[in-house]
Amino acid sequence: MTDIAVVRAAIAPLHAEARVSSAQISQRLAGHAVTVLFTEGEWMRVRGEDDYEGWMHRGYADVPGDPPAPPEARRLSLGCVVRDGEQDWSRALPLGAWLRPTENVITGYALDAAARELALPRDAAAIATTAADRFAGTPYQWGGISPWGADCSGIVQTAFWLHGVVLPRDAWQQAGVGQDVGSRMLEWNAGDLLFFTDRADQRITHVGISLGGARMVHLGLGRGGHAVEQLDSRDDPYVTSLMSRFITARRVI
């Protein structure tokens, strides 16, 4: 089957297997569409807009769902509480979710297409600022993609997506995008992606976003979540260990 499902929950986890106790490997946010590849009982094997696949329980989505309106006809949550005028209930939506047409913002902010273009331009330095500011305080959560909880590649993918740049989901996949800009910190621009590994085979396991020069923003398990690092620090054991595992820097835009 090739039904389209549209996430109705604020956040819908994608699982590695068709059971709730399996690992969360990613998430989809309210208003985002997924393609249903096949089903097993109440579980759906789905593919997201980024081509990433996982298992989603039917309870998180409308199936089949009407194809979402194009981005220019929708409002994007920057983190808000909304009330549905038809259903007469309210809910919180994370950064990156789409509002329903019947939902109105009570607190927080949402952007229409024109405001999004102004507030979230396709600009590398602006993307780095979004990652540093809008994700501040985010706890580390494996598979997470929003300020309610994210992992290293989740913050990267969402920050770039907010500014209209589509990246793959996992760090090792993101390492195949853009051009190599070497290992000299002074040559890194804000928005460059920095890649690290803790594996003998050198497969990428961690990614952060350069803030220009020696500063980087990331979601680090060793930091418990969101952190801004001074990568040339010689007094921080965490940074020393991290830089010993540095592999490459890449420029996406």
Residues 6 or more apart whose CB falls under 8 angstroms from that of 92 comprise 10, 80, 81
Alpha carbon distance 175, 206 (integer Å): 10
Residues 132 and 110 in one domain: no
Q: Average pLDDT, stretch 128-141?
A: 98
- Over residues 57-79, the pLDDT tens digits come to 999 999 887 777 777 789 999 99
Per-residue pLDDT for 86 more than 80?
A: no
Print the domain residue range for 88: 71-116
Per-residue pLDDT for 1 more than 60?
A: no
Residues 19 and 109 in one domain: no
Domains contained in the chain, number: 3
Residues 196 and 160 in one domain: yes
Per-residue pLDDT for 2 more than 80?
A: no
- Over residues 18-41, the pLDDT tens digits come to 999 999 999 999 999 999 999 999
Percent above pLDDT 70 for the chain? 99
Q: Average pLDDT, stretch 88-115?
A: 95
**Average pLDDT over all residues of the chain:** 95
Residues 58 and 91 in one domain: no
Of 45-49, 63-67, 80-84, 193-197, minimum mean pLDDT range: 63-67
In the structure, what pLDDT confidence band is assigned to residue 85 with cuts at 50, 70 and 90?
confident
Residues 34 and 109 in one domain: no
Q: Average pLDDT, stretch 147-160?
A: 98
Alpha carbon distance 253, 191 (integer Å): 8
Q: Average pLDDT, stretch 91-100?
A: 97
Residues 141 and 162 in one domain: yes
Question: CATH number for the domain including 18?
Answer: 2.30.30.40
Residues 198 and 161 in one domain: yes
